[in-house]
């Protein structure tokens, strides 16, 4: 057994608190079995030492660069063009509200695993929960994109990490401005003032429950910022010349039909990771292993290869249970 696996063996034994546990053995067995592997380009790295520079660099070489801020801007440009030209929906001004996914708790201070709203992430690339993307078009020839993110409080940094700051978010998304949520009320008031004495249309994501008036949720179940946005939408409804147009999801999905070269590269990379992880899980399955253990092995292998996580819970079904 090489030193890397010995180190992992010691770490896992202390972490699990069960000396010589079967799970500890299986994890170390997998690390040991695949301790030397080629990255496909003739470069051999030590898979056992997951903290080694050679391993990390091999993963970086294989991972595509991702989606650029310029591409996110093109996506928003295309969407605003589609909304502007929607049949029977011609207005002087447009306001588009796309909300991020919110943090949902299974118990006090115990959140469920977070999954970002796909449309929000498609348009700006951020994975920050409880955020907002607002696109305001004051005339048919222009629009501006604004993102509002939660404040990085000391408590939030302690429990959830630093998160993204406005400068980093603007660099990722390529929007015109990024603000903390404390600035949302002022922004909405200024926007509402600009909509008076003009015709305007409001698009908002009906799939996001706190922007859907047909779903009655207690205000305590939504972030305060979204309760504020709900109030703003309610104030716009009776304004002369205004109309709530509905859900832009259909138009967003039309944008998503054709994949860019960067998207195709990421999809292929994800498919390769999935194939490798499933192969390892199949080869490592033994009589007596539970479905939960195979699931854990599949998830561990995916992350070790370079995935951020699983897209959805894997189906590991071996028989009656």
Q: Can you tell me the distance from the alpha carbon of 127 to that of 137, in angstroms, rounded to the nearest whole number?
A: 25
* Closest to 269 measured CA to CA, from 297, 305, 315: 305
- Taking the C-alpha atoms of 235, 236, 239 and 245 in order, what is their torsion angle to the nearest 10 degrees? -150
* Per-residue pLDDT at 130: 87
Are 209 and 203 in contact by the 8 Å Cβ rule? The answer is no
- pLDDT, one tens digit per residue, over 126-159 is 999 889 999 999 988 899 999 999 888 888 778 7
Report residues of the chain scoring pLDDT below 70. 1-62, 206-226, 237-242, 244, 319-321
* Per-residue pLDDT at 212: 53
* Closest to 173 measured CA to CA, from 128, 211, 228, 210: 128
Are 118 and 125 in contact by the 8 Å Cβ rule? The answer is no
* Per-residue pLDDT at 25: 38
Q: Which residue has the tokens 């990421």?
A: 266
- pLDDT, one tens digit per residue, over 65-118 is 889 999 999 999 999 999 988 887 788 888 998 988 888 888 877 888 888 899
Q: Can you tell me the distance from the alpha carbon of 67 to that of 47, in angstroms, rounded to the nearest whole number?
A: 28
* Closest to 96 measured CA to CA, from 242, 201, 226: 201
* Per-residue pLDDT at 123: 96
Secondary structure (3-state) at 320: coil
Task: Decide the pairing of beta strands 242-246 and 200-204.
Answer: parallel
Are 100 and 209 in contact by the 8 Å Cβ rule? The answer is no
Phi, psi of 176 (to 5 degrees): -75, -35
């Amino acid at each position: 057994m090489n030193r890397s696996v010995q180190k992992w063996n010691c770490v896992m034994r202390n972490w699990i608190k069960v000396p010589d546990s079967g799970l500890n053995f299986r994890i170390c067995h997998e690390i040991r079995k695949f301790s030397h592997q080629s990255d496909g380009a003739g470069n051999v790295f030590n898979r056992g030492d997951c903290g080694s520079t050679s391993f990390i660099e091999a993963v970086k070489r294989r991972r595509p660069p991702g989606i650029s801020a310029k591409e996110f801007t093109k996506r928003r440009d295309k969407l605003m063009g589609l909304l502007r030209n929607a049949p029977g929906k011609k207005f002087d001004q447009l306001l588009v509200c796309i909300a991020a996914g919110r943090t949902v708790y299974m118990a006090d201070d115990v959140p469920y695993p977070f999954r970002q709203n796909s449309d929000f992430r498609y348009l700006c690339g951020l994975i920050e929960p409880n955020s907002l993307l607002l696109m305001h078009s004051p005339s048919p020839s222009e629009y501006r994109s604004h993102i509002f993110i939660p404040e990085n409080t000391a408590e939030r940094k302690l429990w959830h990490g630093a998160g993204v700051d406005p400068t980093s978010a603007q660099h990722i998304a390529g929007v015109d401005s990024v603000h903390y949520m404390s600035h949302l009320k002022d922004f909405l008031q200024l926007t509402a003032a600009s909509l008076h004495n003009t015709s305007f249309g409001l698009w908002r994501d009906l799939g996001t429950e706190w922007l859907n008036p047909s779903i009655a949720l207690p205000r305590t179940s939504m972030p305060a910022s979204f309760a504020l946005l709900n109030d703003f939408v309610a104030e716009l409804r009776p304004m002369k010349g205004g109309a709530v147009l509905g859900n832009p999801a259909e138009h967003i999905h039309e944008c998503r039909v054709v994949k860019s070269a960067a998207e195709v590269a990421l999809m292929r990379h994800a498919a390769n990771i999935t194939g490798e992880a499933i192969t390892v899980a199949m080869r490592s399955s033994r009589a007596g292993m539970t479905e939960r253990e195979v699931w854990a092995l599949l998830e561990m292998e995916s992350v070790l290869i370079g995935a951020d996580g699983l897209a959805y819970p894997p189906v590991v079904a071996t028989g009656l249970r």
